Structure 1
Amino acid sequence: MKDQYLTIKELTKNVGGKVTPRMVRHYHTLGLMPPAQRSSGNYRLYTQQDAQRLKRIVALKEQGFQLSHIQQLLTNDSETEVNPTLMTQLQQQYQAVISQISRLRQTATALEGILGRDEHCQTLQANLLAHLRLLEVETQDSLEGLEQLWQNLDAAVSSHPEDFKESLQHLLPELCDRSEIEIDLLSQLVLACGDVSIINFVRLSRDAIAAARHAMLAQCQIVGDVPAVTATLDQTRLAHLKCQVTTLINDPHVTDVVEAEQAFWQQSTWVENLEKIPPQSILIVGYAPSVLMKICEAISLHQIQPALVVAMPIGFSHAPAAKRRLIRSGIPYITIERTMGGGLLAAVVINALAKSLIDKPNCHCYLQSL
């Protein structure tokens, strides 16, 4: 009977080392963990059900939920109706997180203003750093002086073109474990949206670049979800590779994510287009998350067998779920986690892959990760 129970140390080990015995005792105090049974020596004893509950607490905590909210989520787990109080609290936490992100974005912008400059601005950079070291914010004059220094630094950029390569060298994270082609792809995504942090959310399957290059060399079909995506593709390079470009929802009036999602539910012809896609095609979803979900369903039913899916639809509930399903599908993929994405970024991926294939047809650096 004793072997059925876990000690507190065994419990934390069972969870995976992400929680300590002290934290478990704290969770008992908060009511997150139910009272534990006791041994004859007054030691806490836990069941597998307790271990499962602790794993859920740790998982929710890692997702950013506050402990008070986790308690309510676990308490209301069996209820079928949404707790309006909890939803209000979660909305307030969301707004607080967004405010924090905004403050961090301001800090990042200030750092980019220094690090993103090229060698032509080094003298002004040195003056700015010296001023920052001596900055006193007690008076408005000091702030105005700093603003004037920023203006001087900004004025210098008009005297020469921006050196994007040098700026990226200063700002990109360490990417020594990535292939040359993947680094170029990530750099193009950064330049397309102006946000270096996007690199943290880009996900590529290990075989994504290899699958893309092999498919393009085989003159595969490139299929976008809406005209706004296919219109942004590099038609010249794709034509050079003899890759035909087609559109699933071939409606010129679909120009944004709302219209793309509506077209998914209101039109049926695009489903027929999906079923006619040749094997080993490259699919691009830049707008409608429901299209991606349908693609994942067709893959699971072996109705289609694409070589690669580039999935960057926008959405706040369907898109993250569809992207997660794609990652589990076993098909080579390139996506951006969570709600981030868009038709332009999806097209940038294909354009970068096509360019690298034409410019460096014999490059095999991407095979190092396979």
Structure 2
Amino acid sequence: MLVAQSQPMAVDPLLDQLQKQYQTVLQQMIKLRQTATALEGFIGRDQACQSVQAEALAQLRQLAAETETATAFTEDLWQQLDAAVPDHPEHFQEALFRLLPDLSQRPEIEVDVLSHLVLACGDVSLATFVRFSSDAIKAARETLSAGCTIVGDVPAVIAALDQPRLTHLGCQWATLLDNPHIDSAADAEQQFWQDNGWHQRLRDLTDGNIWMVGYAPSVLMKLCEAIETGVGRPALVIGLPIGFSHAPAAKRRLMQLSVPYVTTESALGGGLLAAVVLNRLAASLIEKPDCHCYLGEAN
């Protein structure tokens, strides 16, 4: 369990200055996020809500929303916009079409993965930070077709897999840190450093398999080290551990390797997102086995 430290730590003056700068930037990000949330709630309305949206637009023109978007969305305006919500299901694809950045140069399968990642976390900006190696989709489809083993860092990642689809493809799955009580990145890191048995399991499971790291950054770091030292070469690494220093460092190290990968250029990640990537790659293989969009110039 994470607890606050009871005794203040001695802080270097430069570090203190950087912390204050971070808090200033964070407050700016919060204000921008509030504005983005307001815009998402408005722009993401589907056709069934367009009548009330048109009325709201007329009000916003009078409120000079171009310069005060977040504050212009008053409680009365939200009540008016939300009045049509209970009458129909939400149409997610319409919202994504309006809100996602231009992905027209991306392969169709990659766009599908990105769309589902955004839906899984509710953060449209995530699409900007996800990175696919040029050979990631090709490697995933070839390896899944061959009935590979999928290795997760913790049981929670494996539990989120679409196991019926993977069984249909003849795939199996395994866990590096096989402790069902791991329920956070902090637990996963602690278990990793306490459990010496992972050394042999990593050696046995590295070569030719798909790896999903969604919790422990140290797992991804050691996997990268295994690749660099010739222990084995995974067919694909979905590297999305959680963390604020080790995780970004592990992801940068992964992107420097000549191995297919999907990762993010940030602290963003998690076991659910790692499973979403693998599940959508498996689904696209079953639904569109002859798709070759990933072999075009866009990839």
| Distance in 2 separating the partners of 1:280 and 1:328 | 19
| Distance in 1 separating the partners of 2:159 and 2:94 | 30
Q: Determine helix, strand or coil for the equivalent of 1:309.
A: strand
1:330 lines up with 2:253 in the alignment: no
How many residues are matched? Answer: 284
Alpha-carbon RMSD across the aligned residues, in angstroms, is 1.7
Contact 1:131–1:146 (Cα < 8 Å) also in 2: no
Deviation at 1:135, TM superposition (A): 2.4
Deviates more, 1:143-152 or 1:247-256: 143-152
The corresponding residue for 1:203 is 131
After the TM superposition, list the runs of 4 or more consecutive aligned residues in structure 1 that deviate by more than 6 angstroms.
none
**Structure 2-normalised TM-score?**
0.92
Q: Mark the CA change 1:290 to 1:144 in structure 2 (over 3 Å): closer, same or farther.
A: closer
Matches within 5 A, 1:35-114: 84-114=12-42
Structure 1: which amino acid aligns with 2:137? Answer: I
Deviation at 1:83, TM superposition (A): 7.9
- Percent of counterpart pairs with the same letter? 59
Structure 2: which amino acid aligns with 1:100? Answer: Q
1:185 lines up with 2:116 in the alignment: no
Contact 1:310–1:334 (Cα < 8 Å) also in 2: yes
Structure 2: which amino acid aligns with 1:292? Answer: L
| Distance in 2 separating the partners of 1:351 and 1:305 | 22
| Distance in 2 separating the partners of 1:92 and 1:101 | 14
1:117 lines up with 2:45 in the alignment: yes
Q: Mark the CA change 1:293 to 1:239 in structure 2 (over 3 Å): closer, same or farther.
A: same
1:266 lines up with 2:194 in the alignment: yes
Deviation at 1:129, TM superposition (A): 1.1
Deviation at 1:278, TM superposition (A): 5.7
Q: Name the structure, 1 or 2, with higher relative contact order (CA <8 Å, separation 6+).
A: 2
Unaligned runs of 5+ in 1: 1-81, 138-142
The corresponding residue for 2:295 is 367
The correspondence for 2:231, drawn from 292, 299, 303, is: 303
Structure 2: which amino acid aligns with 1:212? Answer: A
Deviation at 1:232, TM superposition (A): 0.4
| Distance in 1 separating the partners of 2:64 and 2:281 | 49
The corresponding residue for 1:321 is 249
**Structure 1-normalised TM-score?**
0.74
| Distance in 2 separating the partners of 1:282 and 1:271 | 18
Deviations 1:145-199 (A, max 9, x none): 9322211211211100111111100001111110110100000000000010001
The corresponding residue for 1:354 is 282
The corresponding residue for 1:276 is 204
The corresponding residue for 2:77 is 149
Contact 2:46–2:95 (Cα < 8 Å) also in 1: yes
Deviations 1:211-263 (A, max 9, x none): 00000011111000000100000001000001101100011111110110001
The corresponding residue for 1:67 is none
| Distance in 2 separating the partners of 1:136 and 1:122 | 20
Contact 1:232–1:347 (Cα < 8 Å) also in 2: yes
Q: Determine helix, strand or coil for the equivalent of 2:140.
A: helix
The corresponding residue for 1:249 is 177
Deviation at 1:97, TM superposition (A): 0.6
Q: Determine helix, strand or coil for the equivalent of 1:113.
A: helix
| Distance in 1 separating the partners of 2:111 and 2:280 | 11
Deviations 1:282-328 (A, max 9, x none): 00000000000000000001101100000000111110110000000
| Distance in 2 separating the partners of 1:236 and 1:145 | 44
Unaligned runs of 5+ in 2: 1-9, 66-70
Deviation at 1:272, TM superposition (A): 1.3
1:224 lines up with 2:186 in the alignment: no
| Distance in 2 separating the partners of 1:145 and 1:315 | 34
Q: Mark the CA change 1:362 to 1:100 in structure 2 (over 3 Å): closer, same or farther.
A: same
* Rg comparison, structure with higher value: 1
The corresponding residue for 2:59 is 131
Deviations 1:61-114 (A, max 9, x none): xxxxxxxxxxxxxxxxxxxxx981111110000001110110000110111111
Structure 2: which amino acid aligns with 1:327? Answer: M
Q: Determine helix, strand or coil for the equivalent of 1:223.
A: strand
Q: Determine helix, strand or coil for the equivalent of 2:211.
A: strand
Q: Mark the CA change 1:166 to 1:136 in structure 2 (over 3 Å): closer, same or farther.
A: closer
| Distance in 2 separating the partners of 1:211 and 1:136 | 50
| Distance in 2 separating the partners of 1:246 and 1:314 | 20
The correspondence for 1:236, drawn from 161, 164, 185, is: 164
Deviation at 1:136, TM superposition (A): 8.0
Q: Determine helix, strand or coil for the equivalent of 2:262.
A: strand
Structure 2: which amino acid aligns with 1:121? Answer: C
Contact 2:38–2:73 (Cα < 8 Å) also in 1: no
